[in-house]
Amino acid sequence: MNNRAAAGNDRAYWLATMLRIADPMIKALASRKLRATMPVENKKEEQLQYSHLEALARTLVGMAPWLENPAQDAEEEKLRVHYGELVRAGLDAATDPESPDFLNFSHGQQPIVDTAFLANAILRAPNTLWHRLDSRVKGNLVKAMKATRTRKPAFNNWLLFAAMTETALGVMGEDWDKMRVDFALKQHEQWYLGDGMYGDGVHYHADYYNSFVIQPMLVDIIEHVHGHDVDWAGMRENILIRAQRYAALQERSISPEGTFPVTGRSLAYRFGAFQSLAHIALRRELPEGVAPAQVRSALSAVIRRLIEAPGTFDEAGWLKIGLCGHQPELGETYISTGSLYLCNAVFLPLGLPADDEFWQGAETPWTSQKVWSGQTVAIDKAL
């Protein structure tokens, strides 16, 4: 197989993998059978009340760009249209108070998180996930999102969850709380540590929350609100530059074998750890010296390494807790089956057209492959 053929097969593999992960949840919710059919693996029974919203929101936050942008291939376009219809039916089921799958937006702290992931998905696919809803579903969705306002987010990356929900409400034409946005943006500016890294709260944490949450949400929020406030406009450039630097660090962290450092919490989100790199690739803003094809090649290696590990799925196709296969010991007490679907965030570049350089560039060694095979690489330097 030549390198061009391999590149084309990468897109097909990514799409098939994303749909393999998403399909059970999307079809169950569309038919209003999610609660009845989704198994919930957890360490605390409390998580059962949150897991279904987690599965929905986290699936869509990664799938949204693909759902939003018409495909060039006719068969892929049929799939995109089909899944868009299913997802809209699922949003109806999730927000209709009379539905057996009416999800929990109003009780406990966890819905603050997953309402924000759903809001982020809406920003990434406004036509598919908002404009094409009928007025009744729109009204239910807005009520569900506003229901999170009754609780206070934690003083860490959670500030961005409140800000993301308010940002989306503003884009949706609803009243939005600019103070929640302002507080999150300015507090994260104070928590910036240097060289593209933010603290998760006051302190640095050696985990992947800069990618799971902080960098992508900062970028998506600032891109939608910078025109509303002079202070926010002044923050935009630095937010984007830092995200590019963090993307460069993420690319360098992928080993020649497609593995990455096993550090910090929430490792059961699997390749969702690379949302930030995938996000910058989607935006066509990769740092100088990092080619789109090498990012695709690196992420493809990670995806294959993890998704093909035995025990990743149960017999019905639902994800199991773990990083490389079924490793329940890697699930924190807040982790349940629904949580795992943040892995879908790696698939953001499927929102790029098939003829984009990201997909068409020949298979390319990434930085660690070059270094450990004695090839020439550029010197890394701090921001």
Tens of pLDDT, residue by residue over 368-380, are: 999 999 999 999 9
The domains of the chain, with CATH numbers, are: 3-372 (1.50.10.10)
Mean per-residue pLDDT over the chain, rounded = 97
AA letter at 51? S
3 state SS of 322: coil
pLDDT band at 8 (very low <50, low <70, confident <90, very high): low
AA letter at 69? N
Look at residue 47 and tell me whether its pLDDT is greater than 90: no
Residue closest to 107 by CA, chosen among 161, 77, 144: 144
Q: Is 351 exposed, middle or buried (0-12, 13-18, 19+ CB in 10 A)?
A: buried
Distance between CA atoms of residues 28 and 34, nearest Å: 5
Alpha helices by DSSP H, listed for 148-291, are 158-171, 178-190, 209, 215-225, 230-253, 275-282
Distance between CA atoms of residues 349 and 124, nearest Å: 12
- For 286-339, the pLDDT digits (tens) are 999 999 999 999 999 999 999 999 999 999 999 999 999 999 999 999 999 999
- Structure-token pair, residue 205: 């944490």
- Structure-token pair, residue 353: 């057209």
Distance between CA atoms of residues 315 and 264, nearest Å: 29
- For 90-149, the pLDDT digits (tens) are 999 999 999 999 999 999 999 999 999 999 999 999 999 999 999 999 999 999 999 999
Which residue is listed with tokens 């060694």?
A: 365
- For 181-227, the pLDDT digits (tens) are 999 999 999 999 999 999 999 999 999 999 999 999 999 999 999 99
Which residue is listed with tokens 């790696």?
A: 346
Which run of H or E residues covers position 148? none
Reported pTM? 0.96
DSSP string, 248-267: HHHHHHS-TTS-----SS-G
- For 347-369, the pLDDT digits (tens) are 999 999 999 999 999 999 999 99
Strand partners, 313: 319
> Angle 230-253/178-190 helices, nearest 10 degrees?
50
Distance between CA atoms of residues 211 and 208, nearest Å: 5
Tell me the percentage of the chain whose pLDDT exceeds 90: 96
Look at residue 5 and tell me whether its pLDDT is greater than 50: no
Look at residue 3 and tell me whether its pLDDT is greater than 70: no
3 state SS of 305: helix
Which run of H or E residues covers position 204? none
Distance between CA atoms of residues 305 and 292, nearest Å: 20
- Structure-token pair, residue 276: 């930030």
pLDDT at 7: 53
Which run of H or E residues covers position 1? none
